[in-house]
Amino acid sequence: MIFRQLFDSVSGTYTYLLASRRGGEALIIDPVIEKVERYLQLIKELDLKLVKAVDTHLHADHITGLGALRDRTQCITVMGEMSKVDVVSMRLAEGDKLTIEGVALDVLYTPGHTDDSYSFRMKDCVFTGDTLLIRGTGRTDFQNGDARAQYDSIFNKLLKLPDETLVYPAHDYKGEMVSTIGEEKAFNPRLQVKSVDEYVEVMKKLNLPNPKMMDVAVPANMRVGYAQEAIAQRGWSVSAAEGIRLVGQPNVALVDLREKSEREKHGMIPGSLHAPYPDLAANVRPGGMLYELAAATGKRMLFYCAFGERSAMAVQAAQDAGITSACHIQGGLDAWAKASGPVVR
């Protein structure tokens, strides 16, 4: 297992790089834009392939590295389903799993610091974002923060994990790097309360100034979506409404790029092939499944995914590989469902 805790000293942010092996797939949690070159260097040195970049919540104190990492590596961007960010490639909910090769994290919805705060648990450790910090908790006075919800997330979810579970937060300002659930239960001053009302009072009295970066970071972090417009301008996009008319046509092959778990949870467009995004490079090169299908049948290759991000990147890769009929459904299955397109389970 490869596990790296990286630090941005300007914002006091911890970023985590995980992989099951050298040479394998990697994921990164809470990357900071100014550190993207450093992450890419380390990923190269460890011979890893970055496949997912995840934010625990919409950050107010730094600009996320999600968009930059996606543009540099074509990785998938991931946030929770409650996030108001414009577009990420994949959205997760409580009970889902965040997976890469050899690594699976349980998704916990832990609102309170913000209403889009999630924690990710992996075996004996938990990445708590700003929900539970070391000897502290994330502030709850902006971005739809809610001390009552945070109390519930901490006391009824995180503190229910085994005491020896290692706690890796998104921030620390005093140089602490890791704690445990048992330690925080016993020594976190904010958690030494007898009731939710007492916790709400503690949080109300904090009176913190707004983060310096807030006015810049929040609007920037709301817009991390891939420029699907650029793909549309090249004539490689189909609207959901146009796509609905193409279902069942003999000259069109619909290709679903999502993961198996997303197909099971959200359903799929009838008659679509499954070609998961992580296998894309192999599938679009000569000899690959999609390349040969396009060449043998002359069919128009119509990609789709959850929100149109993976499919937009796939169209570019397929066109670059010589599949000139490649196009995608703009906005993905999300736009498809809103246009009342047929979905099967």
Contact footprint for Fe ion (CB under 5 A): 130
CB of 11 to Fe ion, least distance (A): 10
Query: What are the beta bridge partners of residue 167?
Result: 126, 179
Which amino acid would we find at residue 239?
Answer: S
The least distance separating Fe ion from the CB of residue 183, rounded to whole angstroms, comes to: 22
Tell me whether residue 130 or residue 256 sits nearer to Fe ion (CB atom).
130
Query: Is the Cβ of residue 115 or residue 130 nearer to Fe ion in the bound state?
Result: 130
- Give the shortest CB-53-to-Fe ion separation in angstroms: 17
State the Cα–Cα distance between residues 306 and 317, nearest whole angstrom: 18
Q: Side-chain half-sphere of 110: how many Cα atoms within 13 Å?
A: 30
Q: Which is nearer to Fe ion, 193 or 213 (CB)?
A: 213
Letter string b/e over residues 304-332, b meaning 16 or more CB atoms within 10 A of that residue's CB: bbbbbbbbbbbbbbbbebebebbbbbbbb
Q: Which residue is nearest to Fe ion (CB)?
A: 130
Q: Closest separation between CB of residue 113 and Fe ion, Å? A: 6
For Fe ion, the closer of residues 88 and 255 by Cβ is 88
Q: In the bound complex, what is the minimum distance in angstroms from residue 149's beta carbon to Fe ion?
A: 15
| Longest CA–CA separation in the chain, Å | 69
- Nearer residue to Fe ion within complex by CB, 31 or 308: 31
d(CA 54, CA 65): 9
Task: Identify which of residues 57 and 157 has a Cβ nearer to Fe ion in the complex.
Answer: 57
State the minimum distance, in angstroms, from the CB of residue 133 to Fe ion. Answer: 10
Distances from the Cα of 255 to the Cα of 91, 193, 294, 323, 335, angstroms: 20, 53, 11, 13, 16
Q: 55: Cβ–Cβ under 8 A, 6 or more apart, which residues?
A: 29, 30, 64, 66, 78, 79, 83, 221
* Alpha-carbon gap, residue 289 to 295, rounded angstroms: 10
Q: Which is nearer to Fe ion, 60 or 326 (CB)?
A: 60
State which residue, 222 or 344, has the beta carbon closest to Fe ion: 222
Q: Least distance from C-beta 225 to Fe ion, angstroms?
A: 20
Q: What's the min distance (Å) between Cβ of 57 and Fe ion?
A: 6
Residue 96 three-state SS:
coil
Whole-angstrom distance, CA of residue 93 vs CA of residue 118: 9
